[in-house]
Structure 1
């Protein structure tokens, strides 16, 4: 089972974390399932950029990016060449390291339960 190393983020994961998730799971689902409450204002429907992450290691192992995700990422804060929407980034059998950007374009935090 692949692991996701989450680099420290002051709000979502202050100490950083290493979590496991089955291949075929999105990074967003894996984070939420492991108590890391990343924003996902569109409920993981690829309609916003609040779940944007930067993949520091293992980018090439993730499922391929489609045109909808590419178009949305253009609006993400802190866009980098290895940026992905975590709701669309599907794990394979390789480990990844991610960084959650400091900001998102969502000014009002969503409350998901």
Structure 2
């Protein structure tokens, strides 16, 4: 199991969390399995940006993002160089520290987004 530190998020994880993820699973799957209910409007099919996270530590241990993910990330709120769609970022053995952005833009429904 790989340790994932989730930095505090006002709505989803106010105190932050330290969780364990199975190598080979995605960050999104791991968050959901640990009751951190990150939005995933496209049901983890790489068709929106609602599961966007910023990988604060361990970013280089993840496989590089594919072109489809990069194209979507360009539309994500609060994009940073170490941003990933959590539904596409597969956990390996290296511990991760992630931050869930304050806002999301829901590309799956017109005019979507939440604050």
| Alignment-derived partner of residue 82 in structure 2 | 82
**Relative to 1, partners in 2 of residues 1:75 and 1:17: Cα closer, same or farther, differing over 3 Å?**
same
The question of whether the paired residues in 1 share the 8 Å contact of 2:26 and 2:89 is answered with: yes
Which runs of 5 or more structure 2 residues have no equivalent in the other structure?
Answer: 107-111
TM-score of the superposed pair, with normalisation by structure 2: 0.92
Cα deviation code 1:39-69 (max 9, x no counterpart) = 0000000000000000000000112210000
Aligned residue pairs total 109
| Alignment-derived partner of residue 99 in structure 1 | 99
Aligned-residue RMSD, C-alpha: 1.0
Deviation >4 Å, runs of 4+: none
Which runs of 5 or more structure 1 residues have no equivalent in the other structure?
Answer: none
| Alignment-derived partner of residue 36 in structure 1 | 36
The question of whether the paired residues in 1 share the 8 Å contact of 2:105 and 2:113 is answered with: no
Please tell me whether residue 46 in structure 1 is matched to residue 70 in structure 2: no
